[in-house]
Amino acid sequence: MSAQPLRVLSVIPPMTQLNTPYPSTAYLTGFLRSRNVTAVQEDLALALVLKLLSREGLEAVARHIDTLPVLSHTPSIQAFVAQRKQYLGTITATIAFLQGRDTTLAHRIAGRHYLPEGPRFSSLDVYIDEDGGDPLGWAFGALGLHDRAKHLATLYLNDLSDVLRDAVDPRFEFVRYAESLAASQPTFDPLAQALAAPPNLVDDTLRELTLAAIERHQPTVVLLSVPFPGSVYAAFRIAQTIKATHPHIVTVLGGGFVNTELRELADPRVFDHVDYVTLDAGERPLLALLAHIQGERSRQRLVRTFLRDAETGQVRYVNLVEPDVAFAEVGTPTWDGLPLDRYLSLLDMLNPMHRMWSDGRWNKLTVAHGCYWKKCSFCDVSLDYIGRYEGASAVVLADRVDAIVKETGQTGFHFVDEAAPPKALKALANELIARNTGISWWGNIRFEKTFTPDLCELLADSGCIAVSGGLEVASDRLLSLMKKGVSVDQVARVTRAFTDAGILVHAYLMYGFPTQTVQDTVDALEYVRQLFANGCIQSGFFHRFTCTVHSPVGQNPEEYGVTLRPLPPVSFAKNDIGFDDPTGVDHDALGVALRKAIYNFMHGIGLEEDVRSWFPFKVPKTTVSRHRIERALGQAA
């Protein structure tokens, strides 16, 4: 293979976030440029949404709906058809408003006479007071005009998303697009069937955008980064388009989904669409692969790479052991080439902490690679992105911050670590303060005792505005079993220290962990109620525990009192694994109550009620003292 000039295009496939770029392409592009490789990037997830949610896109949707039988019209489609003229007349300006380019439109949107309103607006009914007053007044008051309008505009977009789902593609969602085709799918069959099906309007639109990006950048290599199952289908559609029109372009699949679920990849059909699949941190495999493409190495020099053998047609995995690129040497992420002024700031949730995942353009940066704790039994601690911990100095991190602010002109940062280490955060905070950097930042941590009130104040002084962390099951017995390394009382003290420093706190919560009883669940909800009532946390979310093959529970189930169910033969994705818990608890039924309770807690509702009132069936009384958290905080009378 003769050497040729390389031009690498990194692509974010649909769907990821709409308010800010997913950071994988920014990291890869920055790294490749630091190694003198010509590298560019595209966010086709954002491009697809902006194309569909344009006047031209909605006109195409309307024409498609005209071909459907009226009996198939869902309430979302009916609302769109009835208000078609209003949707076509408001979409361009509303998108511009959510992009921050037409802020004065907030007055008309907030007045509730500008936007057409579909089924999603019924969620506002829960806020109407007994006197029939302003349904959003409690949340935004008289002065929150812009946020009020942003929330209404988000409901409007969600209505349109439902129309796309009901009329065009039943798999369509803004974040989890066609997720079921990829997540823990043992075979490639569902994806293969979907890719062989006639393209719909969403597919055709993505094809046009892909071809335009190829024409614009003229790449020799395309990297498809798939962080989640909800971006896999679109990534393969992009690769399919490239193979059909530009077969000389090398396509490479990687990212979080691949690193987690495709470690036993054996289906040759995957390579009808992509040429290579790489695992784990991408820097070293990419350097080896680019050298291979240029003919500088034999195939045997590839690192953590799957490919289809040209002679046998079978999948091969080649992994010459070479050292990974040090975290301090991966370079500074760059957002050059991404349309930073076209991302959508959405306001799905009125809670001030919860909104941060969808509202605002955040520069995403990592303080350290991997997790310094790496003991939690529910976590994929055996995988590289968790198990290999490596940091960088505060000076290097602050230099990266300065470079990113200079490039983007934006001072908001989201540190996207598995759990940012306290020691590194302290050093970084001191460096940021010494430089008078003036950024705002938030990130994920562990609620460990190292976060003293003094450290929390220091972090706030450096620009920390919010933290999220895992409380998981609020039970000391279960926290010990899952090797979380914290107690409920400790979490209360740490979270209150953050709150007292003016830092918002979000708690990741879990239910359905092995041996968790109904009593454990009721007691956990009581702890959570008290944490909200005592101002320790402002936001939270209950996740259903999932056993994965890479976690300690999945690898040593007998230690957690459960029995794993046998998996079918796997040639594609492998991650989630079913298990039998002798407690026999119906966790799904409990989960409905937990999610309802915490939604209300986040809005300040029901914080004084008996937690049993959230369950539609009889549950035991909590065994937790009603003043347990107050005592932990030293505030009990």
Look over the chain and give the mean of its residue pLDDT values, rounded to a whole number.
94
Q: Three-state SS across 367-392?
A: CEECCCCCCCCCCCCCCHHHHCCEEC
At 237-290, the pLDDT tens digits run 999 999 999 999 999 999 999 999 999 999 999 999 999 999 999 999 999 999
The arithmetic mean of pLDDT across residues 389-413, rounded, is 96
Q: Looking at the predicted structure, is the pLDDT value of residue 177 above 60?
A: yes
pLDDT at residue 482, rounded to an integer: 95
User: Is residue 461 within a helix (H) or strand (E), and if so which, with residue range?
Assistant: helix 453-461
Rounded distance between C-alpha atoms, residue 362 and residue 342, angstroms: 13
Q: How confident is the model at residue 296 (pLDDT cuts 50, 70, 90)?
A: low
Contact 378, 545 (CB under 8 A): yes
pLDDT at residue 383, rounded to an integer: 93
pLDDT at residue 123, rounded to an integer: 84
Return the bridge partners of 509, or none: 472, 542
Rounded distance between C-alpha atoms, residue 250 and residue 242, angstroms: 9
| Tokens (6 digits) for 540 | 């939270």
Rounded distance between C-alpha atoms, residue 335 and residue 40, angstroms: 9
Rounded distance between C-alpha atoms, residue 482 and residue 474, angstroms: 11
Q: Looking at the predicted structure, is the pLDDT value of residue 299 above 60?
A: no
- In eight-state DSSP terms, residue 569 is P
Query: What whole-number percentage of the chain has pLDDT above 90?
Result: 91
Q: Looking at the predicted structure, is the pLDDT value of residue 547 above 60?
A: yes
Q: How confident is the model at residue 158 (pLDDT cuts 50, 70, 90)?
A: very high
| Tokens (6 digits) for 531 | 């944490």
Q: Domains (ranges, CATH) in the chain?
A: 7-45+179-328 (3.40.50.280), 51-167 (no CATH), 349-632 (3.20.20)
Gap between the terminal Cα atoms of the chain = 78
Q: Looking at the predicted structure, is the pLDDT value of residue 139 above 90?
A: no
Q: How confident is the model at residue 142 (pLDDT cuts 50, 70, 90)?
A: low
| Cis peptide, bond prior to residue 349, ω within 30 of zero | no
pLDDT at residue 635, rounded to an integer: 64
pTM of the model: 0.93
User: Is residue 507 within a helix (H) or strand (E), and if so which, with residue range?
Assistant: strand 504-511
Q: What are phi and psi of 475, to 5 degrees?
A: -150, 125
Return the bridge partners of 223, or none: 10, 252
At 402-428, the pLDDT tens digits run 999 999 999 999 999 999 999 999 999
pLDDT at residue 508, rounded to an integer: 96
pLDDT at residue 130, rounded to an integer: 47
Q: Looking at the predicted structure, is the pLDDT value of residue 133 above 90?
A: no
Q: CA nearest 222: which of 4, 7, 3?
A: 7
The arithmetic mean of pLDDT across residues 10-20, rounded, is 94
- Pick 637 or 514 by higher pLDDT: 514
